Structure 1
């Protein structure tokens, strides 16, 4: 997701922020100390969905999830074999920021990026959050982030991300696994460059974008609220989903196919005045249209194509598998 390149550290944090769907708790719940067991070592990973057209051309789709076990050693024999025979590879769907920011420019932008993480009015979290929500935040902050006050200056969205990543680390999960690197290596061996299927949000002037982010208010309290929900109650569920992917349990993986945690917070940016000015409207619909177009082209022109798509966007009602079936393709589950 080149999210790092453009709208400052705020959007970098946003890229891996985590919050599930659900209503907020009316009273501060007790923090439950659970110790879910994360698989490690060599694991097979999941099977792939197979999509075919009338000519017998095949699109193999690997469903992905994040986070995954931090110490996962993915064997990937079946996936490597498919890539070795593939004529093309489709990159994952979604959106990305397209900004021309060189190394030295990044260095000069860093102070602005750091300021973009803070509330534009200089408020601390205690001043932004409702009292009951701040009461829930405090014990979780102390447990996962320590008792320092630096995070108290952050916007709720940024604070949510810091908390979520720290909580993942404690239970042995990571939003950045080695799966991407393994796939990139297999693509390189085959001599393939993934077709870009993500919608690109163009940022012509990163410095101006950062200034805009610094000055823009965001409706991001709900992002922190939902992040507290997942940290308090749903870490074991995330571990179960990560384990299901690692061991190749497709049934469990589909049952645990939650909407991306990133999706639940992206509205804080996309629905803001800043997001609308930067063309971040209707991102999901635009991304789905672009990916489906790439899939149709690949199936028409290639005997074998490989793709990666987040599991929840594959299996949800109206998701990519349903769209492919409606388009007349035959879809086989792993």
Structure 2
């Protein structure tokens, strides 16, 4: 059942290329469903050098309250990946959700092709993962980069032969997913799933900003993309760098969210290799007419507009966004401050 669910998701996403412009979601569409890692897949000395993961019931972080004129937008920052054996104690957050009138979800990049048409395009969509002319990674990568790939591939997916025919971008994302699984991290959206179920039980208004890409000729786009060489070496190299140097920090960020340490989340660097991967896709010639190149800018503008509309309409609105989207000089919290809203930090 899990494999079928992934196939249905891949049909709509890969065929339309919609989610390829959303870095946070790329890992969900670039490879096969993850299998449990075994000791054969991972050098156990790696786990000895990184932080022990949080287990059991954890409260997670507090919320930001954005407010003006007596109206509030409560924002929970989410994190991915998280410790696999952690259980989120969501009751304090759900208590705030219960006093709200609406749930503001992250923006969705959508297409107009529909699920049925997407299913018909699935075989062609899956083929675009492969290099043009079915070339191997060793044929398209610089020798030094291929030399870095080999030990990581041997460590995290030694029995996967198909990946050697993948484009560097897709090979890197497959490796990334396997590595996270091997070190005890899970990409499952624990917080968002819990919030969405509760909001629907409470019959809250659901606000979902949408950016629709009109794909007039999806078959032609897939055909052109299949034969195009991507400028994706930066994506590949940055992904390898994260796996070579950032595993410990990934676990620290996962733990920081679990125990609600927002100060640690703000201080820990979060390299964005997925941004380079999304840029490689957005710059593909086959996708030039779809509006993919500036999709992140459109998503940001759509969410901010929806947040301001909710603040003008409802006494209390609940929202959730990734910590990387919320924090920093260019984060959504800073954008809301610049728009004149007062912000109360989490306790």
TM-score for both structures, normalised by structure 2? 0.84
Contact 2:235/2:274, CA 8 A, preserved across alignment:
no
- What SS does the corresponding residue of 1:16 show, helix, strand or coil? helix
Q: What is the CA-CA distance between 1:232 and the residue it aligns to?
A: 0.9
Q: Is the 8 A contact 1:32 1:232 kept in 2?
A: no
Question: Which residue in the other structure is 1:178 paired with?
Answer: 190
Q: Which moved more, 1:107-116 or 1:31-40?
A: 31-40
2:133 pairs with 1:126? no
Distance 2:189 2:92 in 1: 19
Q: 1:71 and 1:100, CA in 2 relative to 1: closer, same or farther beyond 3 A?
A: farther
3-state secondary structure, aligned to 1:308: strand
1:116/1:213 contact within 8 Å kept = yes
The match for 2:61 among 41, 46, 63 is 46
C-alpha distance after superposition, 1:46-70 (max 9, x if no partner):
10011010x2100001111211122
Please give the secondary structure, in 2, of the residue aligned with 1:121: helix
Q: C-alpha separation between the residues in 2 aligned to 1:276 and 1:9?
A: 14
Partner of 1:67: 81
- Mapped to 1, the partners of 2:205 and 2:273 lie a distance apart of 28
CA contact (8 A) 2:19 2:109 kept: no
Selected match of 2:247 from 219, 224, 235: 235
Q: Secondary structure at the match of 1:33?
A: helix
For the pair 1:16 / 2:29, whether they are aligned, the reply is: no
Match of 1:7 in 2: 14
Please give the secondary structure, in 2, of the residue aligned with 1:81.
Answer: helix
CA distance in 2 between partners of 1:257 and 1:51 (Å): 25
Under a length normalisation based on structure 1, what TM-score does the superposition of the two structures give?
0.87
Distance 1:240 1:222 in 2: 25
For the Cα contact (< 8 Å) 1:126–1:134, is it kept in 2? yes
Distance change in 2, residues 1:188/1:315 (3 Å): same
Higher deviation after alignment, 163-172 or 34-43: 34-43
Structure 2: distance between partners of 1:308 and 1:259: 21
Aligned counterparts of 2:87 and 2:217: Cα–Cα separation in 1: 40
- Pairing 1:33–2:46 present: yes
Matched, 1:333 2:345: yes
Q: Using a 3 Å threshold, how does the CA distance of structure 1 residues 200 and 11 change in structure 2: closer, same or farther?
A: closer
Counterparts of residues 163-312 of structure 1 (less than 5 Å): 163-256=175-268, 258=270, 260-312=272-324
1:88-127 pair list within 5 angstroms: 88-93=102-107, 95-102=108-115, 105-127=117-139
| Alpha-carbon contact 1:9-1:116 (below 8 Å) kept | no
For residues 255-308 of structure 1, what are the alpha-carbon distances to aligned partners after superposition, in whole Å with 9 as ceiling and x for unaligned? 126254432310011122123221112222222211111111111111000111
Q: State the Cα distance separating 1:96 from its structure 2 match.
A: 1.7
Q: Deviations over 1:195-217 (max 9, x none)?
A: 11243333355444432332332
1:323 Cα deviation after fit? 1.2
C-alpha distance after superposition, 1:146-199 (max 9, x if no partner): 144321100001100110000000111122232222111111111124211243
Gaps spanning 5+ residues in structure 1: where? Answer: 19-30
SS at match of 1:210: helix
Note the C-alpha offset of 1:140: 0.7
Task: Provide the aligned length of Structure 1 versus Structure 2.
Answer: 319
How far did 1:322 drift?
1.3
Whole-Å separation in 2 of the counterparts to 1:259 and 1:313: 13
What is the rounded CA distance, in whole Å, between the counterparts of 2:16 and 2:306 in structure 1?
Answer: 31
What SS does the corresponding residue of 1:96 show, helix, strand or coil?
A: strand
Measured in 2, the distance between the counterparts of 1:100 and 1:277 equals 16
